[in-house]
Chain A
Amino acid sequence: MAIAMLPIILTGGIDVSVASIIAAVTVIIGNFMIGVSSNIFAVFVVGCASGAVLGLINGLLVAKLKIPPIVATLGTMSIIIGVVLYVTNGTWITGIPQNFINFGRTDLFAVSVRVGEPIGLPIQFVFLFGAAALMWFVLRHTLVGRGVYAMGGSVVSAERIGYDLGKITIFIYTFEGFLIGLAGSVHTSIMRQVDPGAFSGFELHVIAAVVLGGASVLGGYGSVFGTLLGVALFAVLNNGLILMHIPVFWQKIVVGIVLIASISVDILQKRYSESRMTRVDIEPVEG
């Protein structure tokens, strides 16, 4: 998810509709599996396609109607989640076919270290790293990807040099939808049922993870690797506190403080090193 959001933030945009898109995707594939086919491949195709279509809508709104991204996606968020819940009335979809559930539990390269305790790479990580690798490639090695960075650097310049900004915008939102579709599909196979309301409030986490990973919300800076780190850090922050035996009522306080402190330190460091940056090579004193 966070990976999917990265290019949008890179262009200086933001998408708060991620949570509603993933909810819509899970509902669609849930019904698809039960009603049409439980072929894993087909499910993934449907999931990704429906995500991509919803992303495309965002992209069109931003690119063609020039609605600021945060607002456009705020609108679509409200609409998509409204439609999803109106149609499903929030009912969970249960009875996901077993083959799909098994898929979600596949560990690749599972090695049994001790009896009864297999460790391995759960399939969701394969997808995560797969998505990350794909995104990295797109951003680094395609013209569109570089256009994303260029747009984040300077919209005017990007336009002048001949990038088709509309196309890039539409592409990244669609691509984001696609990846969210993927995430939704994987998620469903892990969770074994579909809860349309499960993702409310999720969007802020996604944004936080991306930005924690070093992407600038003003656009132009950020990397896939940083985002992965951000996701990891955020996961640790949110879930590691139980492991550290921190009392429940203190956890949010700790998360908040760590979040603010870590970013502040980072910024202060950057500022310090910037202020020490050499602008003029000073002539040495002649001995």
Chain B
Amino acid sequence: MPTNKLSAFIKRKEFILLVIFVLVFVLMSALAPKQFLRPFNIQSMAFQLPEFGILAIAMMVVIVSGGINLSITYTATLSSIVAAVAISSMSQAGVADWKVILLGIVIALATSLAAGAINGFVVAYVGVTPMLVTLGTMTLFEGVSLNITKGGAISGFPDSFLWLGNATIIGIPVPMVIFVAIVLASWYLMGRSRFGFSVYMIGCNPRATMFSGINVKRVLMGVYLFSAVLCALSGLIMSSRYNSAKESYGSSYLLQSIAAAVLGGTDIAGGYGSLSGTVLAVMILQVITSGTNIIGINPYLTNIIMGAILIFVLALNYLSSRRESRKLG
């Protein structure tokens, strides 16, 4: 049955990723047996993964809609900076901790929604190419952040705020718990909901989707808002983990998140992309960075390895799909 074949093929991409993940994991364990497999290390990887993983999902969602969001890292830091200003000034004013934190989260989300609304508005309603819009807003958000911080970092959080990024629940880091929740929520949203269905359709052919009576503009707006909210969550985790908020946190995640999304099987042209693939890709990248750090490999070599894996996996995808069609065609 071609039905099975088709789904089997889609699964194959993720299967390759799974194999690679296991391979790097085993490799790292073999190279640094005592250190890599320590629960402490596993836990610390679980601490590190979410902030990047969330950004990668934020990127993936936009790519699936046929766009790209270059402003993710600055959306994250901008919303955490605005929240940080509020949190630190309120907590100095002696407001109760839980109120402060709750309000801080609300403020971060509100800021990110505003940021996402700018992206969404210009992309969907004005009709500018996403890459350009987000290139502009990237600069804009960085500028606003810098203007607030004047180049420094905003700190002075109450200790309980640090819980968000640093505590564990029965050994599982809180950020990881948040991440899993986000993955599940995104999976429902993208894979099961009307919204997600529309996003995939728009990513393939916005015009035909519009002709089908779907409110393409509103869906696109939703995509950028959703992406921005994810950014804010990542930003909050980062500011809690780093005990401060600053415009440059996570700036190196931008290109990495594109790489993760694509490595995870997202079609850069839009319309295709799976959450599980992206999550697997994020895990692969995490194991490689942590592993090479522990083994003590020159960080530039890590860059080279990641680049090579990216090309390798995509080449593999291409070759296997070609063999497939040869065999049958």
- Give chain A nearest CB distance to B314 CB in angstroms: 5
A250 x B147 contact (CB < 8 A): yes
Q: Which of B3-11, B91-99, B121-129, B161-169 contacts A (4 or more CB under 8 A)?
A: B121-129
Indicate whether B26 reaches chain A with its CB closer than 8 angstroms.
no
Indicate whether A34 reaches chain B with its CB closer than 8 angstroms.
no
The prevalent SS among residues of B at the interface is helix
In the complex, chain A residues whose CB is within 8 Å of the CB of B151: 249
Complex CA–CA separation, A71 to B300 (angstroms): 19
Contacts A208-B132, A255-B143 given; indicate if A78 touches B318 (C-beta within 8 A). no
Contact residues on A (Cβ < 8 Å of other chain), bracket: 35 or more
Indicate whether A259 reaches chain B with its CB closer than 8 angstroms.
yes
In the complex, chain B residues whose CB is within 8 Å of the CB of A105: none
Complex CA–CA separation, A259 to B131 (angstroms): 12
In the complex, chain B residues whose CB is within 8 Å of the CB of A249: 143, 146-147, 150-151
In the complex, chain A residues whose CB is within 8 Å of the CB of B259: 71, 74-75, 78
Contacts A16-B255, A250-B147 given; indicate if A67 touches B311 (C-beta within 8 A). yes
In the complex, chain A residues whose CB is within 8 Å of the CB of B141: 256
Contact of B318 among A65, A216, A250, A254 (CB under 8 A): A65
- Give chain A nearest CB distance to B131 CB in angstroms: 5
Can you identify 14 A-B contacts, CB atoms within 8 angstroms? A16-B255, A65-B319, A67-B318, A71-B258, A74-B307, A75-B311, A78-B306, A79-B304, A82-B304, A86-B300, A253-B144, A255-B139, A255-B140, A256-B143
Q: Which 10 A-B residue pairs are closest in the complex by CB-CB distance?
A: A256-B140, A252-B143, A78-B307, A82-B303, A253-B143, A79-B307, A82-B304, A259-B136, A256-B139, A260-B136
Residues on B lying within 8 angstroms of A by beta carbon are 70, 118, 122, 126-129, 131-133, 135-144, 146-147, 150-151, 255, 258-259, 262, 267-269, 298, 300-304, 306-308, 310-311, 314-315, 318-319
Residues on A lying within 8 angstroms of B by beta carbon are 16, 61, 65-68, 70-72, 74-79, 81-83, 85-86, 204, 207-208, 211-212, 216-218, 249-257, 259-260, 263-264, 267-268, 271
